[in-house]
């Protein structure tokens, strides 16, 4: 069974082709690294699957039965998304963000409490729960957004630059949480420019170049490709 299927995806915007001929599958309980240079189209791919950007052509399926073009609300509830830049609301406290996110994914109250008892101290945010985003550092805002994305147990989790702005301790903690999520049944697609760190977490990679898939396969092969291209 495929958790995510993308078939011949094309995105055009203002007469520019941002993604073209994108076709790939994601298997259950897997971690896949989406790699590529700045502007290759990684964030565009996430935003398009999430429905933030409109596709021009192609199909997107989750669990082989939920199409993006069918019941979009049902489709969207199957994906949790951690964006590159925190998108926090100025009028909500840290705790209210967690409650809002849990509510929008119908996370049961008991599960929410159990997750927060672990994740809040894990990311050292115990004394920030009643604070508003402007009272937090950039790294703290990133941690709040990270916890939000980890609260629901969706089949798919997209993470755009997970380690950006986090200190070494938080990076290692998040790495553990990503691996645990995958073991518990979530498939994770993540982008990162920190290739050494990604190699430790991901089993597979998809390399984008100028909006097209340049190569894909087991992460071990990505090292070979990289070395070869450096030697050339």
Ligand X SMILES: Nc1ncnc2c1ncn2[C@@H]1O[C@H](COP(=O)(O)OP(=O)(O)OP(=O)(O)O)[C@@H](O)[C@H]1O
Least CB distance from residue 28 to ligand X, whole Å?
25
How far CA 231 is from CA of 35, 51, 222, 226, in Å, comes to 20, 40, 14, 9
Q: Which is nearer to ligand X, 38 or 229 (CB)?
A: 38
The least distance separating ligand X from the CB of residue 199, rounded to whole angstroms, comes to 17
Any bridge partners for residue 80, and if so which? 157
Measured from the CB atom, the residue of 33 and 112 that comes closer to ligand X is 33
Residue 56 has which token pair? 């021009």
Residues 152-171 that bind ligand X (CB under 6 A): none
Q: Find the shortest distance in angstroms from Cβ 178 to ligand X.
A: 19
Distance in Å, CB of 35 to ligand X, minimum: 9
Asked if 100 and 91 touch (Cβ cutoff 8 Å), the reply is: no
For the chain, where are the E strands, in sequence order?
4-13, 16-26, 31-35, 57-62, 66-67, 79-82, 156-160, 187-191, 204-209, 212-218
Instruction: Decide: 87 and 148 in contact? Cβ < 8 Å.
Output: no
Closest CB to ligand X among residues 114, 194: 194
- Least separation in angstroms between residue 217's CB and ligand X is 19
Q: How many binding residues for ligand X (CB under 6 A)?
A: 11
Whichever of 36 and 133 has its CB closer to ligand X, that residue is: 36
Neighbour count for residue 148 (Cβ, 10 Å):
24
Contacts of 210 (CB under 8 A, 6+ apart): 40, 41
Per-position x/- string for 19-58, each x denoting binding to ligand X as judged by CB under 6 A, each - no binding: -----------------x-xxxxxxx--------------
CB of 129 to ligand X, least distance (A): 31
Nearer to ligand X, 161 or 174 (CB): 161
What residues numbered 125-154 form the site for ligand X, per CB under 6 A?
Answer: none
Residue closer to ligand X, measured from CB, 40 or 190: 40
Phi/psi for 201 (5° steps) reads: -105, -40
- End-to-end, the C-alpha distance of the chain in Å comes to 39
4-23 positions binding ligand X, by CB under 6 A: 13-14, 18
Residues that bind ligand X (CB under 6 A): 13-14, 18, 36, 38-44
């Amino acid at each position: 069974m495929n958790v995510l299927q993308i078939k011949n995806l094309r995105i055009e915007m203002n007469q520019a082709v941002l993604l073209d001929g994108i076709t790939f599958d994601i298997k259950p309980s897997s971690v896949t690294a989406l790699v590529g240079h700045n502007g290759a189209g990684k964030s565009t791919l996430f935003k398009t699957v999430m429905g933030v950007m409109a596709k021009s052509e192609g199909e997107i399926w989750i669990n082989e039965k939920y199409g993006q073009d069918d019941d979009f609300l049902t489709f969207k509830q199957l994906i949790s998304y951690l964006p590159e830049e925190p998108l926090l609301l100025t009028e909500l406290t840290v705790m209210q963000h967690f409650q809002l996110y849990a509510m929008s994914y119908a996370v049961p109250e008991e599960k929410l409490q159990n997750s927060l008892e672990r994740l809040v101290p894990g990311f050292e945010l115990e004394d920030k729960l009643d604070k508003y985003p402007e009272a937090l550092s950039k790294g703290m805002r990133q941690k709040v957004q990270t916890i939000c994305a980890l609260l629901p147990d969706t089949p798919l989790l997209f993470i755009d630059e997970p380690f950006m702005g986090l200190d070494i301790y938080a990076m290692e903690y998040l790495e553990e949480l990503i691996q645990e999520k995958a073991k518990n049944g979530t498939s994770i697609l993540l982008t990162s420019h920190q290739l050494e760190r990604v190699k430790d977490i991901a089993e597979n990679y998809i390399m984008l170049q100028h909006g097209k898939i340049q190569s894909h396969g087991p992460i071990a092969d990505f090292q070979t490709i990289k070395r070869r291209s450096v030697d050339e």
